[in-house]
Amino acid sequence: MSFSELGLSPKVLEAVSAAGYTTATAIQAGAIPHALQRKDVLGLAQTGSGKTAAFVLPMLSMLEKGRARARMPRTLILEPTRELAAQVEESFATLGKNHNLSVALLIGGVSFDPQAAKIDRGADVVIATPGRLLDHFERGRLLMTGIEMLVIDEADRMLDMGFIPDIERICKLLPFTRQTMFFSATMPPEIQRITEQFLHNPVRVETAKRSSTAETITQMLVKTPHDAKLKRETLRQLLRTQTNVKNGIVFANRKTTVALLEKSLKTHGFNAGALHGDMDQSARLKMLNAFRANEVTYLIASDVAARGLDIPEVSHVFNFDVPIHAEDYVHRIGRTGRAGREGQAFTMVTKEETKYLKAIEGLIKKEIPWFDNGLPAHIEPVQEAEATPAPKPRRAAARKEKPQRDLQPEGESKPITEKPRRSAEPPAGRSHDRGSRDTPPMLPDAPNDNSFHDGNMPAFLMRK
């Protein structure tokens, strides 16, 4: 659907077209006309669906009338993490370029005073993480009685992070007459309860569920030996077959693997950078910006470190490990093929990982084809230039090479996020869920065997 059919103002339409958006995504087409009629919207959509513009655009149209008053913001957007909040601010800069609005970003980890000064001068839009917003409120720097529109974004992640009590408190501080737009990728019972409590006759807009993958993504499986060194070689061979990589994310299940892969790929001349849980926020943002600017071609990342980051236009996703939780597969490959663009997603699979693969295929309800049953035979192996001597085929490698012991769970349950304020402990019954999503279970030690599914080494890995 074209944006001009949605009822947006000319100023908004001009910015949309300047941003290069031609057709509205499903969540935009479904939500924007209702939002413009001041109805509450319940959007079931995930990152990558274009949901940010689904609330930013009607908000911009609405803000064209009226003015901000000191300490009384007119609209409020709640985000679970600082990074998401910063990304929404960027969207305002792009899509609101014709609007001359004052946007205040209230996130933790930076000083209060400049934020407070901005609210003092009058903010049209406040984009905040729940904790920092309440801190400003409690210090008396902010009045919530002027809020006309509230957006709660990524509600299920708010739940994961223990923010629901803060959200409930904030909702009670806002005028009853406000409009609410509420977005969540999933609808667990606690989120359902919140929507029943705080939305008034919402229009429900549902886009593709997490269990489905975009049609624009070509998915492929690649056989690989379990042995860590050979597995890295398989990855390199795979990367070399893909001549049209604009930029790619290589996902690994553990942060130790992420660090090792970055080192290994760089040694072999790939332009790679890493994003993992041991990096502090500024290092992560620096890496992410380098990736966005195409200074880094391959971003090696773990699920936790990458969650929620908006990295537009990724051409390829490579899963170095099959994700242990099937849902993570959908998240990972959802980094490509966004907003109708073409994308390629390759998943390397060892014999031991086929059980996880089955779960993924069950979730997405389709079989993923094999990439030429391994890699094309014409690809010649390259010499492994790492410290340990290159393995000889099969038996020698099996005898001499110790299995890679990077099998600790990632244990980085805290990406660049806000801490829940009062509710340090997530509500009962969720800590397990959270742990199981963020922390892969311990895997058994790698068997000292280089077998493929059929027990044979593919030709391209055989050394002469």
Give me the 158-187 binding string for ligand AMP, x by CB under 6 A, dash otherwise. ------------------------------
331 is an interface residue for ligand AMP by CB under 6 A: no
Among 9, 52, 237, 315, binds ligand AMP (CB under 6 A): 52
Residues 6 or more apart whose Cβ sits within 8 Å of residue 112: 135, 136, 139, 141
Using the structure block, give the residue that is written with the tokens 């999503």: 437
Least CB distance to ligand AMP at residue 87 (A)? 7
- Rounded Cα–Cα distance for residues 53 and 73 (Å): 20
The smaller minimum CB distance to ligand AMP, of residues 221 and 333, is found at 333
What stretch of H or E contains 54?
Answer: helix 51-63
Kindly state the number of chain residues that form the binding site for ligand AMP, as judged by CB under 6 A.
Answer: 16
The smaller minimum CB distance to ligand AMP, of residues 22 and 431, is found at 22
Given a contact cutoff of 8 angstroms between Cβ atoms, the answer to whether 66 and 74 are in contact is yes
Least CB distance to ligand AMP at residue 344 (A)? 18
Residue ranges in 3-32 that form contacts with ligand AMP under rule CB under 6 A: 21, 23-25, 28
Q: Report the half-sphere exposure of 452 (CA within 13 A, side-chain side).
A: 20
What single-letter DSSP state applies at residue 204? Answer: E
What single-letter DSSP state applies at residue 440? Answer: P
The smaller minimum CB distance to ligand AMP, of residues 23 and 456, is found at 23
Least CB distance to ligand AMP at residue 308 (A)? 9
Window of 41-49, 181-189, 272-280, 322-330 that interacts with ligand AMP by CB under 6 A = 41-49
Least CB distance to ligand AMP at residue 45 (A)? 7
The smaller minimum CB distance to ligand AMP, of residues 151 and 252, is found at 151
What single-letter DSSP state applies at residue 72? Answer: B
336 is an interface residue for ligand AMP by CB under 6 A: no
- Rounded Cα–Cα distance for residues 205 and 27 (Å): 7
What single-letter DSSP state applies at residue 104? Answer: E
The smaller minimum CB distance to ligand AMP, of residues 50 and 162, is found at 50
Q: What residues pair up with 126 in beta bridges, in sequence order? A: 76, 104
49 is an interface residue for ligand AMP by CB under 6 A: yes
The smaller minimum CB distance to ligand AMP, of residues 49 and 319, is found at 49
Least CB distance to ligand AMP at residue 79 (A)? 11
Least CB distance to ligand AMP at residue 117 (A)? 29
Window of 43-51, 99-107, 431-439, 456-464 that interacts with ligand AMP by CB under 6 A = 43-51
Residues 6 or more apart whose Cβ sits within 8 Å of residue 103: 89, 92, 93, 96, 123, 124, 125, 126, 127
- Rounded Cα–Cα distance for residues 322 and 353 (Å): 6
Given a contact cutoff of 8 angstroms between Cβ atoms, the answer to whether 291 and 299 are in contact is yes
Bridge-based pairing of strands 149-152 and 75-78 is parallel
Least CB distance to ligand AMP at residue 9 (A)? 17
For residue 367, give the 3-state DSSP assignment: coil
Window of 51-59, 241-249, 393-401, 436-444 that interacts with ligand AMP by CB under 6 A = 51-59
- Rounded Cα–Cα distance for residues 320 and 231 (Å): 8
The smaller minimum CB distance to ligand AMP, of residues 52 and 195, is found at 52
Given a contact cutoff of 8 angstroms between Cβ atoms, the answer to whether 250 and 271 are in contact is no
Given a contact cutoff of 8 angstroms between Cβ atoms, the answer to whether 312 and 320 are in contact is no
Among 51, 226, 254, 332, binds ligand AMP (CB under 6 A): 51
The smaller minimum CB distance to ligand AMP, of residues 49 and 439, is found at 49
Among 30, 32, 47, 170, binds ligand AMP (CB under 6 A): 47
Least CB distance to ligand AMP at residue 253 (A)? 24
- Rounded Cα–Cα distance for residues 390 and 258 (Å): 21
Q: What's the full length of the chain, in residues?
A: 464
338 is an interface residue for ligand AMP by CB under 6 A: yes
The smaller minimum CB distance to ligand AMP, of residues 36 and 390, is found at 36
The smaller minimum CB distance to ligand AMP, of residues 24 and 171, is found at 24
What single-letter DSSP state applies at residue 402? Answer: P
Distance of CA 182 to the CA centre of its chain: 18
Least CB distance to ligand AMP at residue 50 (A)? 3
Distance of CA 68 to the CA centre of its chain: 32
Backbone angles phi, psi at 264, to 5 degrees: -65, -45
83 is an interface residue for ligand AMP by CB under 6 A: no
Among 310, 321, 384, 412, binds ligand AMP (CB under 6 A): 310
Name the residues that contact ligand AMP, by CB under 6 A. Answer: 21, 23-25, 28, 47-53, 310, 312, 338-339
